[in-house]
Amino acid sequence: MTSILGISALYHDSAAALVRDGQIVAAAQEERFTRRKHDPRFPLNAIRYVLDEAGIPLSGVDHVVFYDKPFLKFERLLETYLAVAPRGLRSFQMAMPVWLREKLFLKDLLTRELRGIDKGFSPARLGFAEHHISHAASAFYPSPFDEAVVLTVDGVGEWATTTVGIGRGKDLRIIKELHFPHSLGLLYSAFTYYTGFKVNSGEYKLMGLAPYGQPVFKDLILDRIVDLKPDGSFRLDQRYFNYVSGLTMTSKAMESLFGQPVRRPDHDPLTGFHMDVAASIQAVTEEILLRMTRSLAQEHGISALCMAGGVALNCVANGKILRDGGFRQLWVQPAAGDAGGALGAALALWHQELDQPRQVPPAGASPDAMQGAYLGPRYSQAAVASELTRAGAVLTEQDEDEIIDRTARALADGKAVGWFRGRMEFGPRALGGRSILGDPRSDSMQKTLNLKVKFRESFRPFAPSVLREEVGNWFELEDDSPYMLIVADVRPELRREMTEDEKALFGIDKLNIRRSEIPAVTHVDYSARVQTVHRDTNPAYHALIARFGELTGCPVLVNTSFNVRGEPIVCTPTDAFRCFMGTDIDVLVAENCFLEKERQDPRLKESYESRYELD
């Protein structure tokens, strides 16, 4: 058997993945173990976990592969600085020491770190994959398609910012590239920065804010900033940006164009202007991606599309690509960002370098090779009970049927439930392994979860988890969406038409209007970020939603990640108990342990709201 360890590290979202004979054994982000969100450091803890899950020491790994080629990236940095000199001196002075100390000699650094795990580790076992090959491999090889167009879109890898590939069987080749500094990911991040959110973590906030505004600046952006071609290729006017030579994402020209300075999140409120900017850049992003995918579908005549890269997490755009119909089938890697590059690098080595065949799941079998993205640590019932007891928890242990029924009844009673069962998810979404759950029929659940549990902005939408067999009865979607990466509208017959007065409300005031029979998961534009729950990949979560449906007639739950703002998703039972005690979560279900807040020692409650740096 051949074991391959994939690693991504040193930029953001470090991770490790273990592949054995082409099968994914385990994958996890380092942040989950260190409790430092988007942790970029060498993923020592994640590596130890995937090795333990595989039951092998590092000496039992045949190949180790890094998801990036540092020399190509260094070449891009040098050429860029030379092209803009003498501008960029301060940025150059800050970047070079890090590169000369660490990143340029990455093979030596990785070898030293790996020898800390296994003194006998040989650098001959260490290889490097190109950044966008890693992304493309993570998108195609685990997908359910034997043939697909593969689109990767992110900030920047070595030189590429967007790539197009064709996957057939085990073969995957890149046929087109768009190069730095022309980047859809950096364009979206620039507007994330301009509206006062944190780059590389706040992009999803910008997407969530967009429906509150109108795309009044779309034409301005396309006229002045983005030169967009019919096939979706584009160039960015660098006068409006500062990421090439400076330490910020946008320039003063951007502020002059829109007539307002960059929003300071600690001082400046979100206004209708910021909502309109969010709506406009979302509309531009969708226009670019739709032109790309229409052109690719027409050019290649292939029915399936796979996507990865950070921009592939834009689930609103993904939904529009699917509904547009150029491609009949769409599959997005759930860990689409840099973390997923660890997995893609390992799969690329197996299929491309080692020339090994690929097995595509037969129709009707498991929907893909990602196992529902449940690739992280799991804890036995005994381990959970022991750890929670040591933490001072008061709990009851129940059998499977009892725990499902009691949890469903708590949800039907309007309680917020922390749900900690099975393996932790790989990627940024909680999918029913490490989730906070609620009743979607509640008018107050969205605000309660945002303000009292998550400690985050009230406008942020929540996702519905729905039984796969019921999805078409609740949403305008008939496809699988197991990874919460496709937005679809709530079915018209379930919507509530707003009054003229309600339609006239502005911005965040729209939030408190009941818009459908499931208001807690219906965004202001009647959309929802849907997760279809499959019995085969998560039988316990499927059973819980089914039981809730029996009790209420609604086979849908609110599902948000088990963490507070700025905190990584919980990994261990202790993490879950701390979050439970530090927030207004009413019930914690950890494997078959049932905990009620009112029965816990109040002295164990901690101040959690300021525990983590805001994202």
CATH architecture for residues 3-131+337-372: 2-Layer Sandwich (3.30)
The burial of 286, by beta-carbon neighbours within 10 Å (0-12 exposed, 13-18 middle, 19 or more buried), is given as: buried
With beta carbons less than 8 A apart as the criterion, state whether 428 and 313 touch. yes
The percent of residues in the chain predicted with pLDDT above 90, rounded, is 78
3-class DSSP assignment, residue 355: coil
CATH architecture for residues 179-331: 2-Layer Sandwich (3.30)
Mean pLDDT of 596-614: 85
Q: How far apart are the first and last CA of the chain?
A: 42
Considering the chain, what is the average pLDDT of its residues? 91
Helix, strand, coil percent values for the chain (each to nearest 5): 40, 20, 40
CA-based torsion, 483, 489, 495, 496: positive or negative: positive
Distance in angstroms (rounded) separating the CA atoms of residues 278 and 270: 11
pLDDT tens track for 573-584: 999 999 999 999
pLDDT, position 10: 87
Q: Do domains 3-131+337-372 and 381-604 have the same CATH topology?
A: no
Does a cis peptide bond (omega within 30 degrees of 0) precede residue 361? no
pLDDT, position 508: 65
509 pLDDT above the threshold of 80: no
Distance in angstroms (rounded) separating the CA atoms of residues 519 and 528: 10
Mean pLDDT of 375-381: 98
Q: Which of these, 36, 20, 43, lies nearest to 342 by C-alpha position?
A: 43
Element (H, E) at 467: strand 463-467
pLDDT, position 224: 98
Distances (CA, A) of 588 to 55, 150, 554: 30, 40, 22
Would you list the domain boundaries of the chain?
Answer: 3-131+337-372, 179-331, 381-604
For residue 417, name the pLDDT band (cuts at 50, 70, 90).
very high
For residue 100, name the pLDDT band (cuts at 50, 70, 90).
low
The conformation of residue 104, written as its DSSP 8-state character, comes to: T
287 pLDDT above the threshold of 50: yes
Q: Which of these, 126, 130, 581, lies nearest to 392 by C-alpha position?
A: 581
Q: List all residues 6 or more positions away from 563 whose beta carbon is below 8 Å from its beta carbon.
A: 454, 569, 570, 579
Mean pLDDT of 507-528: 85
pLDDT tens track for 55-92: 999 999 999 999 997 756 655 665 554 555 556 556 65
pLDDT, position 78: 55
Q: 381-604 has which fold?
A: DHBP synthase (3.90.870)
250 pLDDT above the threshold of 70: yes
The conformation of residue 326, written as its DSSP 8-state character, comes to: S
Distance in angstroms (rounded) separating the CA atoms of residues 81 and 246: 10
Mean pLDDT of 504-525: 82
pLDDT, position 80: 57
Least confident of 102-116, 270-284, 322-336, 553-567: 102-116
* Backbone torsions φ then ψ of 268, nearest 5 degrees: -105, 130
Which letter, b or e, does each residue of 408-441 get, where b requires 16 or more Cβ atoms within 10 Å of its Cβ?
Answer: bebbbeebbbbbbbbbbbbbbbbbbbbbbbbbbb
With beta carbons less than 8 A apart as the criterion, state whether 339 and 145 touch. no
pLDDT, position 85: 55
607 pLDDT above the threshold of 50: yes
pTM score: 0.93
**Which structure tokens are listed for 76?**
């891009």
pLDDT tens track for 138-187: 999 999 999 999 999 998 887 789 999 999 999 999 999 999 889 999 99
pLDDT tens track for 43-52: 999 999 999 9
pLDDT, position 265: 86
* Backbone torsions φ then ψ of 556, nearest 5 degrees: -135, 140
- In the 3-class helix/strand/coil scheme, how is 182-219 assigned residue by residue? CCHHHHHHHHHHHCCCCCCCCHHHHHHHHHHCCCCCHH
385 pLDDT above the threshold of 90: yes
pLDDT, position 359: 87
Higher pLDDT, 604 or 452: 604
Mean pLDDT of 320-347: 97
pLDDT, position 81: 47
pLDDT tens track for 20-49: 999 999 999 999 999 999 999 999 999 999
Least confident of 239-248, 396-405, 551-560: 239-248
Mean pLDDT of 441-456: 82
Helices (H) and strands (E) in the chain, counts: 20, 21
pLDDT, position 67: 94
pLDDT, position 445: 82
